[in-house]
Structures are given as C-alpha cells and as structure tokens.
Amino acid sequence: MLDFTYYAPTKVYFGKEKHKDVGEIIKSYGYDKIMLQYGQGSIKKSGLFDEVMKSLTDSGITIVEMGGVEPNPKLSFVKEAIKVAKETKVQMILAVGGGSVLDSSKYTAAGAMYDGDPWDFPSRKASPQSALPVGCILTIAAAGSEMSSSAVITNMELNMKRGFNSDLNRCEFAICNPELTYTVSKYQTACGIVDIMAHTMERYFIPCEPTDLTDRISESILKATIAAGKTLMENPCDYDARANMMWASSLSHNGLTGCGRENALPVHQLEHALSGEFDHIAHGAGLAVLFPAWARYVYKQDVSRFAQFARRVWDCTEEDDEKAAKTGIEKMAEYFESIGMPTKLTDFDIDAHCADRLAELCTFGKQRTVKTYVDLDFDKIKEIFESCM
Amino acid sequence: MLDFTYYAPTKVYFGKEKHKDVGEIIKSYGYDKIMLQYGQGSIKKSGLFDEVMKSLTDSGITIVEMGGVEPNPKLSFVKEAIKVAKETKVQMILAVGGGSVLDSSKYTAAGAMYDGDPWDFPSRKASPQSALPVGCILTIAAAGSEMSSSAVITNMELNMKRGFNSDLNRCEFAICNPELTYTVSKYQTACGIVDIMAHTMERYFIPCEPTDLTDRISESILKATIAAGKTLMENPCDYDARANMMWASSLSHNGLTGCGRENALPVHQLEHALSGEFDHIAHGAGLAVLFPAWARYVYKQDVSRFAQFARRVWDCTEEDDEKAAKTGIEKMAEYFESIGMPTKLTDFDIDAHCADRLAELCTFGKQRTVKTYVDLDFDKIKEIFESCM
C-alpha cells in the first residue's frame, strides 16, 4: 500500500426533504450573506428554487443570485461571479445543481480570494491560498464534485477545458436529497452511472501494488452502482436506488477509492478531449465508449487485476485469468449498452476521421503522454479512438 | 435507506515514517504549545517518544507532557489533565498511543473548555459546546478512536465506564504509520481484529431496511480485516496486512459503516459490562466470545441478513437461508478461535455464576434494556451470558 493523505471534511446531510433545512444549516455556520449559483433554470421549473429561497429567507439570509451556469461551466461566467462576490462581500457560495454548478461555485470561491487571473490555477501559475466556503444542494448524482477536491472549467478563448485540485475545493457541506434526482432523464442517469463507475475504475486500474481494502471498497461501490443503474432504468423513482447512486457518486470521488494507490484519470483525459471537441457529447456517454476501448487496449499489462475485476464485480466464473479478464471488459461494455449508452464514437454522429484531432488534443499537440499501464503517446491514443469508431 | 449525516473531517496522514512529520504538521495548523498525552511508557522503550519529541522540538513547539494514561482511562487522570491544560493554556492535545490515550485526550480536550464537572458529559447533564483540537499518532489499530466521535472513560468512584459522542471528539488529524504496530502482540492484534469486525458488524446487524452500498462497504471491511488477521498471525511485520488493518480500524468506526442505517452497539454494551467488571479481560477478547453468542440468540429475527453475511463475507454456498445463517455465525466463531481468541467466558477464569451480575450491570440494575433485533432485558441478557460459560 502506498502512503496517502485522506481528507474528506465535507459534512453530508443526506435524505428526504433535507434541502428545506438549507437556511438553518447555513446559519449554523454563522453566514448571513451568500451567493446562490444555479444553472439554466430547471430548478425554477421543478419548484426547488422557491423551496430553497424560502428556507434561506426564513433564516434571514441575504442572497446574491447568480443563475445561468452552463454545462461545462465557462471561465467568463466565473470571472463575472468572482467580480460580484468581491463587490458584494458574500461570505460563502451555495451551489444548487450538479457538477457544473458545483465546479463553477468552487472556482468562484477560490477566485474571490485571489487578486490575479483565475486561469492561473489550471495553468499552474498559482495555487489558491484561501477560498470562500462552498455548500451545495445536489440535484444530479454523477460528478462527485460535492466531496471532491477538483473544479473544472472551460476557457472558450483558448478552447480548453481544464481544472485544478485543492483541498480548498472541498465543500463545507453537501445537502443530498435523492428525491431531487427523480426527474433526471434516463439518459442522464445512465451517464451518471458511467461517470461514478469510471471515477472508481480509473483508480482501480492503475499500475501499483494491490491494496486489499481499497480494492474491495471500490468493488463494493461498483456493484452497488451497477445494481442501482439497473433498477433506475426500470423505475426512475426508486428511492433506495437513487440514494445508493447518490452516495456512491460522493464516495467514488472523495478520495476513498484512491487510498494507498497511484492517482491518475487516463480515460477521463481521453474523454475531456472528446467532449471538449464535440459539445453535444455528454461526459458519461463519452466514457461509456472509451472505457471498454481503453481496457481492451491495456488489459494485457495486468491480466490478473482485470480478472479480479471480472470475478468480483461481474461474478465471472472463468478460471483462466486471460479469459476472465476479457469477459469482465465485455460485461462492462454490455452493461453500458444495456442502460442505453452508445457503444461506438460514430453513434455520436461525428466524423470517423477525427481520431487524429482527438489524439492531438489529448497530448496537447504531441507534447505529453497520458500515463496509464503503458504511456499513451499520440499514436497509441489515436489507435484507441479509432478502435471505437 | 434512512436519512443520515456523515461527517468525518479528520485529516489522515497514512504511511511509513509519517510520525516524524508531526512537528511540521502541528505547525501547519498554527499551534505552538501542546499537551502530549501517552500511556504507560511503551513508546519510550520503542524509541517512538524520542522521535516524536525531536520532531516537535525541531519545529519549536512547546510541550506539556502528560504521560501515564492507563488502559480504560480513568476520570481522575483526565481531571488532572484538564487542570493542567487550563493552567498551561495549551492550544491542542497530541495523543500518542491507542484507543485509551485517544479517548483520554479527547475527553481532556472537551473538559478543558468546560467549567463544570467533566462527568456531566456521559451522565447527560451537559453537552460539550467547544473543545481543544486533538491530533494523534496511532500505535494500535483497534478502537477506531482516531476518526470516531466517541470518547469512553472509567469513573472509579462510581465503578462505571461510560462515554459521550460529539463531533467535537473528531480528531483534527491522525498520523497512521502501520509500522508502529509491528510490535503489538499477537493476542492484542487479534483483539484489534475482533474490535474492528465488531464495529462493522454491530451496524450491519441492526433491524432496518437493507442499504446496498453500506452493506457492501461493510462486507469489504470485514473481508479485508479477516484476511489481514490471518496474515498477521503468521507474519506480524507484514506491512500491507498491518496497513489494511489500520485503515479498516478507522473506516469501521468513522461513520461510514452506519450510513443509512440505525445506530446501536448492543454487543459493545454487553462487553463493556464484562470488561468493566473483570479488569483482566481485553475488550476485543470479550467481544470474540460475546458476538457469536449474541448472534446465535438473535439471528432468527433476520435470517436472510445473516445468510447474506455468511455468503458474502464467509463465502458460504448453502442455498438454504437458515443453514447459511448458522454456518456464517459458526465461521465467525471459528475464525476468532483461529486467531487465538477465547471461545467461552470461563476461558477468562471467571466465576461461572456471574451472569446475574453482568446482566445487572448491562441493564443498570434492570432499569433499561439493550436494543437490538429483540429488546434484551435482564433475563435475556443473562441467558446470553450463560450460553457462553
């Protein structure tokens, strides 16, 4: 087991109706002036916005509204939010939404305490030294941003989607009411399932020594997520399935699945290039295509681990490791298909000759490789993309 | 899944040599005057004390020494420590040791910020409203106190061992170096294994709805702990086994295994009476005898759950639930025996007629029952104790 630091300080308020306590919760931290960030208005249609506003105003909290966060949140929006946060001297940011609103809010929180250009964080010119606290009411289980240390943002001028990690990015609290996700579409639910599984599998399949406890916890999260996904395709309002999915999303990405292991997200790196280039591709859907393709490409480097995955997660009974490993990967691919995910990049209606461009993006113009069992250079990445056309 | 609040803010520094960073870590929080609590001096023999002192003094930290914490820490010691902490105005408590030193330190930390009698906390006359921060260097993996919200203390005047739970009892940081546990005896290691398993199983066997993800995580912790225990009986210096055991100890008791479930520790309640009455009985050893006895007594109330435990944790293949359930309990008992734990209370060389007295203690003189699948009153508890004589 490798040395590690585990730090997941977010207080999670989990359960039915919990969002109605948001005002009281914020008051318990001593804040009385906050910025409220949310997305494109779906929370207004659902009635959630009114419930949140009621709870906040009942607690006497002054609210600076900052709606309109887009999917793949934009640096320009964040810059505006930072300006407003500084001017209005809000004490914290409340994010009501999914990963995009969370990331935008975290980014705003760090930027509000920084005098330079907030793009300095992902471009590694500066690390945030302090940040406003962030709390959230989660409406989509997928990104795990509610407990994670990362915030990802898109710089439209540079056409780049990049993030930065910092413990300052950890939410102070997260309010997780699974009922709020009943209205997430089947497609977006399936995308979330894939994202949660990918966060777990990225850390599971990494070249390092076995770590029995972390392995088993990761397998637990995968099994519970797979089961929840199956149930939700039949019954989107199954409370327990929504709850297991939501809690799995937090645990998959809060550090727990990486304890004692190397840390890298190779398939996420491939996918960020893909959905960065093609705006209409949902992150989870991109991962659903790329994960099996990546696995088929690298599994030979660690057959016994892929065999363990097959046996413990997919209940494969093949005794031969090589056969089990291959079966496990195909079971994963079949599962993604069974919950309505695409199986090929061409399903996205994109040019079958874009592999060059995507490999270029992944390697920042052949300037870097993607680290995994084998260092993936331009040619290897291109091959992986081509294998899923 | 029941509603829950999850809060495990302790920053865990896990790995080899980590204790040598303690001065730097404490400095990073801004403290420069601390109380150092430790036990009966084994850390002096092992050299750990000198290493800790060197790191602290190298960082310019002023140390108020408070050695001599006994196993089952005493209220009288804690009262003295509180007095010293108040007089010397230390900013934090550093615990170097296992569960007893941790509990003593946590208790001191809360008491140092309270003007009344510190026994008010377990006797429910007052809740702590603030506490000094506590950090620790863990030397025994067992109690899980390094991430838990509890602190247990013995009041010799009243002959009572009682505790209180509070988020203020959560350590600010925990330094976990598995190498420091190499010298823990086989017997004490086995006791730790049982304690970790018991913390997990207490929350697993509880009358409430299934919670797929929490179930599976609990089963993971159990499987990894069982495997680590087996390895350590053969090779006490197996780093990975020590590491898995140490991390399992933290996760078993930090709240994770209780998410979405009812919370109660019935077998711990029985055991606290036992080792409270008989000082020579180690907590883990008492649990090793009582857990199978309790399970045999209650399993019929939830056969399918005990069958799930048998299949997922002990790889039982019996199709019949009743048979599987019984086999699972016996496998647990056999495992405890295989790592050198006693199987009967009479193994402790105690009076076979003490069941009355123990049942009396558990029920505070027939004034309460112990909640579990069935409410355990005096007669039922007596029956359980008698069944393991």
Inter-chain CB pairs, A–B, below 8 Å: 118
What mean pLDDT is predicted for residues B103-107?
97
Residues of B in contact with A213 (CB under 8 A): 220-221, 224, 244, 247-248, 251
Percent of chain B with pLDDT over 70: 100
Q: Which residues 283-302 of A have a C-beta within 8 angstroms of B? A: none
What's residue B276's pLDDT?
83
CA-only gyration radius of chain B, Å = 21
Band of pLDDT at residue B22, cut at 50, 70 and 90? very high
At A305-325, the pLDDT tens digits run 999 999 999 999 999 999 999
Q: Return mean pLDDT, chain A.
A: 96
Q: Indicate the residue of B5, B217, B221 with minimum beta-carbon distance to A11.
A: B5
Name the nearest CA neighbour of B178 among A1, A256, A217, A203: A1
Q: Is A6 close to B11, i.e. CB distance below 8 A? A: yes
Asked whether A42 and A192 are in contact (CB, 8 A), the reply is: no
DSSP string, B44-73: HHHSHHHHHHHHHHHTT-EEEEE--PPSS-
At B180-234, the pLDDT tens digits run 999 999 999 999 999 999 999 999 999 888 899 999 999 999 999 999 999 999 9
Q: Which residues 238-257 of A have a C-beta within 8 angstroms of B? A: 239-240, 243-244, 247-248, 251
CATH 1.20.1090.10 fits A198-387, yes or no: yes
One-letter amino acid of A381: I
What CATH number labels B11-180? 3.40.50.1970
pLDDT over 90 (residue A344): yes
Q: What is the pTM of this model?
A: 0.96
One-letter amino acid of B262: E
Band of pLDDT at residue B41, cut at 50, 70 and 90? confident
Q: Which residue has the tokens 């699945």?
A: A257
CA distance, residue B241 to nearest chain A CA (Å): 9
pLDDT over 90 (residue A80): yes
What mean pLDDT is predicted for residues A227-248?
98
Q: Does B28 touch chain A (CB under 8 A)?
A: no
Q: Which residues 36-65 of B have a C-beta within 8 angstroms of A? A: none
Q: Does A15 touch chain B (CB under 8 A)?
A: yes
Band of pLDDT at residue B3, cut at 50, 70 and 90? very high
CA B52, B53, B54 angle in degrees (round to 5)? Answer: 90
CA A284, A288, A293 angle in degrees (round to 5)? Answer: 140
Q: Which residues 172-231 of B have a C-beta within 8 angstroms of A? A: 178, 209-214, 216-217, 219-221, 223-224, 227-228
Which helix (H) or strand (E) segment holds residue B152: the answer is strand B150-155
CATH 1.10.645.10 fits B186-387, yes or no: no
What mean pLDDT is predicted for residues B100-117?
97
Residues of A in contact with B130 (CB under 8 A): none
What's residue B165's pLDDT?
94
Q: How far apart are CA A116 and CA A113, in angstroms?
A: 9
Band of pLDDT at residue A162, cut at 50, 70 and 90? confident
Band of pLDDT at residue A79, cut at 50, 70 and 90? very high
B374 C-beta neighbours (distance < 10 Å), count = 15
Q: Is B14 exposed, middle or buried (0-12, 13-18, 19+ CB in 10 A)?
A: buried
Cα-to-chain-centroid distance, residue B351: 27
Q: Which of A74-88, A91-105, B344-358 has the lowest mean pLDDT?
A: B344-358
pLDDT over 90 (residue A279): no
Q: Is A75 exposed, middle or buried (0-12, 13-18, 19+ CB in 10 A)?
A: buried
What's residue B351's pLDDT?
85
Residues of B in contact with A8 (CB under 8 A): 8-9
CA A170, A171, A172 angle in degrees (round to 5)? Answer: 115
What mean pLDDT is predicted for residues A51-70?
97
Band of pLDDT at residue A238, cut at 50, 70 and 90? very high
User: Domain coordinates of chain A in residue numbers?
Assistant: 11-180, 198-387
What mean pLDDT is predicted for residues A58-86?
96
Show the DSSP H helices in B177-256 as ranges. 186-204, 212-234, 239-252
Q: Return mean pLDDT, chain B.
A: 96
What mean pLDDT is predicted for residues A21-31?
98
Q: Does B1 touch chain A (CB under 8 A)?
A: yes
CA distance, residue A271 to nearest chain B CA (Å): 27
The ipTM assigned to this model is: 0.96
What mean pLDDT is predicted for residues A284-303?
97
